[in-house]
Structure formats: C-alpha cells, structure tokens
A and B are shown apart, each in its own frame.
Chain A
C-alpha cells in the first residue's frame, strides 16, 4: 500500500495495532481539513502489525493524550520532507478531562462542572488516581 509522504506535518508511528482509530478521535483529527492518512495493520518488524497516522500540516499535538493512550508511539515531525524531530511521549503527570472518575461516591459523580483530573501515582504500572477521591482509573 502506497501513501504519499508528506512535506510539512507529523507522522505518528508505532501505534499499537487497533489503537489508531481511538487516537484519531482523541486528537480531534476528524475536525481538520488537511489530508490525513490513517493506516491500519501496517507490517512492522518490531511489532508485527502497527497503525500509523500521517497528518499533512504543522500542528501542536497534545502529547499528554498521546502518552496516555499509547506511550509507545513515535512522533516524527516533518519539515520540507525531512524528519527534523522524533518525540517519544511519556505518561503525563496529570490528565484533565481525558478520563472520567467512575467512583459513585466521588464528588465528581454529583457535580457536573468539576474537571475530572487524574494524577500519575505509579509510572511503572501506568496507574492513575482521581485527585478528589483517589480511586484508581480503570482502563
């Protein structure tokens, strides 16, 4: 399968196969009018299969969201058809309004306008806890 390379933009590579569509939605890419390619199940030596997203415009990606959804991705920043930067996002320290607290005893369950904020409490296991009630986030 052949997809044209991009001149100026971003390639999100090494997305775990099947996660590409989720990332596409979380990054709000459906609202953009530049050309975007979502490649599913591309062959990968390292991963067997992987997803790739190519975005043909310069943009600031929310690295926190990327790091949370799939911390193993590689972000290639392309300028004049050359990859000028490779970014490996990390699990973010804090997530605001990306996941919801599911604890029915939490204050966020009764007050709608409170932002759902989670704090990284265990980097090794990727564990996040609600800052209000300290319940673990369920993936």
Chain B
C-alpha cells in the first residue's frame, strides 16, 4: 500500500504514468465513471480549504465512488484531543483512501505510517502540497506536450510559496529545464533551493523585473505577493504593481507562453488577461481534478 506525502515520493516514470491516465480520463470519461464504485474517499480537513476539498471530492464522485469526511478544526476529532494516528486508524475502518489536510507540518506523514489505507497529503501547513504540483505538471504537459527543454518563469512570492518550491523540485528532474526567478529582493527563492540547483548544475537566473524576463519564457507561473510578507507598507505599495500581470506586460511574450497560477488569485493577474489564449489557470483547476482521479486510481490499485 502506498501513500503520497511529497511530490518527490513519485519517480519520473510514475508521474508520466499519472499524466497518461489523466489524459485518458479527459479523452474517455465514461470509461472511468464506475471504476471506484463502492469505494469511499474520506476527506479529513483539519483546516478548511474548500477548493482543494471540492477537487478531491469531485474526483472521487466522477470515478463512481462516494465521499465522507469533515472540514475545520472545530468539528473534527482533533478538537477533542484525538491524535492524528488514532483518527486515521478509525477512519481507515470506513474509508478506502484518505485525503488529509492539516495545519501542522508532517501530520500526513505520521498518518501514513499508522493508517491501514493510503493517505494523500492535501497540504500540511506551509510544507508540502503534492497534488497541486501534479495539477501544475499536468497543465504544463497538456499545454507543451513535454517537460524537458522549457524556460520556466516563477513570479511573485518565491520565498514562502511552497507550490513554487515543489514545482522547482519536480521540474529539476527533466533535461534542459531552466528557471527564471522573478521577485522582489525580500521574497527571493530560499538559499537552500539555490544551493540544490547549483549542485545539480541546473541553470537559473534571478531578476526583479517581469518585463525583462517575459520574452524568454515558455511557462509563467504567477503567485500572490501578500502584504503581510513585507516589513512596511511603503515597500509593499512600491513593489506590488511590478508583479501584477496585465495585457501590456504580455506584449513581448511568446505566443506559445502558458500562464499558470495555483489560485485563488487576488489581483496578481488582471482579469483582462483571462481571455488571452495563453491563460491556463482555470484549465489548471480542472486538470487538478483529473490528476487527482488518476492518483486515486493508482493508490487504490484499480485497473
């Protein structure tokens, strides 16, 4: 029995396999409509995240399975002082697979060590969120047909943005990938990630200017720059517009650019960009459901 805690748990071949399954689901949804009949997914959300939970639940429902679970710390077993281990051992008696979100880092890991059924990490604090990365990867693959030889721009909060860190990890394994990190100095990629890239000899550049980077990019991954990450309001106001994507900033971009964003967005991508054919962030949401379907099938070992 396997669980998915960290994107690095999956080999390149396994990611290829998941993407192939997701593509087949998109092409032939009827073929999968009863694959998980009589199976149950439990969504244990110790902190609420409506969009992630809905994505998991839709995925299971579209496979013909059913869904149980809870959301929010107050009505959960944790509020009564139960350990994560006991919760999953109990829920494992009802459900065939568990998607868990927890505010504490490593909670899904300890769950996977004790659970009788597979655990999917649906986000543990600021630590891992592997199914978001799988959604990003499926989107890149559907748009580009490959993972190798891509110039990937990452823009916004690169310091705290865990989705950015996982995506760098995942894409680092493919040949010819280079990264362009676009952020204010305050929100640069952490030093340990830079060291890993240096160690592996993976090319990257760092810049403060989205305009400067734009013409080189095949992928532009936008994230939100949150005001609370800045020491003072003046810096935030001075910088925030630099990292907002607008139609005029896209003028120098390649026609084949793909724009991604893990959503929810606040204002970092102007609504005027939504109708641009290069905008992929809503496709990314539906891809998230399809890749979760593929993952559920894989972990349940459903043929």
Show the binding face of A for B, using Cβ within 8 Å.
Answer: 103, 105-111, 113-114, 130-134
Contact = CB atoms under 8 A, between A and B. Distances in A.
B126 A111 contact: no
B109 A110 contact: no
Interface of B: 83-85, 102-107, 109-110, 124-127
Contacts of B106: 106-108, 130-134
Nearest to A134: B127
Nearest to A135: B105
A130 B84 CA distance: 18
A106 B84 contact: no
A116 to B, nearest CB: 11
B45 to A, nearest CB: 16
Given A113-B83, A131-B109, A107 B102 contact: yes
Contacts of B127: 105, 133-134
19 contacts: A105-B103, A105-B125, A106-B105, A107-B84, A107-B104, A107-B109, A107-B110, A108-B106, A109-B104, A111-B83, A111-B84, A111-B85, A113-B83, A114-B85, A114-B110, A132-B105, A132-B107, A132-B109, A134-B105
Contact of B110 (A103, A109, A132): A132
Given A111-B83, A111-B84, A113-B83, A105 B110 contact: no
B131 to A, nearest CB: 18
Nearest to A111: B83
A107 B126 contact: no
B195 to A, nearest CB: 11
Contacts of B110: 107, 111, 114, 132
Contacts of B104: 105-107, 109-110
Contacts of B102: 107
A133 B125 CA distance: 10
Contacts of A114: 85, 110
A130 B110 CA distance: 12
Nearest to B127: A133
A54 to B, nearest CB: 40
B150 to A, nearest CB: 27
Nearest to B102: A107
Contact of A105 (B83, B85, B126): B126
A109 B102 CA distance: 13
Task: For the complex of A and B, list the 4 residue pairs with the smallest distance between their C-beta atoms, beginning with the closest.
Answer: A132-B106, A133-B105, A107-B104, A107-B106
Given A105-B127, A107-B124, A133-B106, 12 more contacts: A105-B125, A106-B104, A106-B106, A107-B104, A108-B106, A109-B104, A111-B83, A114-B110, A131-B106, A132-B105, A132-B107, A132-B109
B8 to A, nearest CB: 11
A105 B105 contact: yes
A117 to B, nearest CB: 10
Nearest to B6: A134
A131 to B, nearest CB: 7
A103 B83 contact: no
B109 A103 contact: no
Contacts of A106: 104-106
A113 to B, nearest CB: 7
Contacts of B126: 105
Interface centre among A113, A130, A132 (most CB of B within 10 A): A132
Contacts of A132: 105-107, 109-110
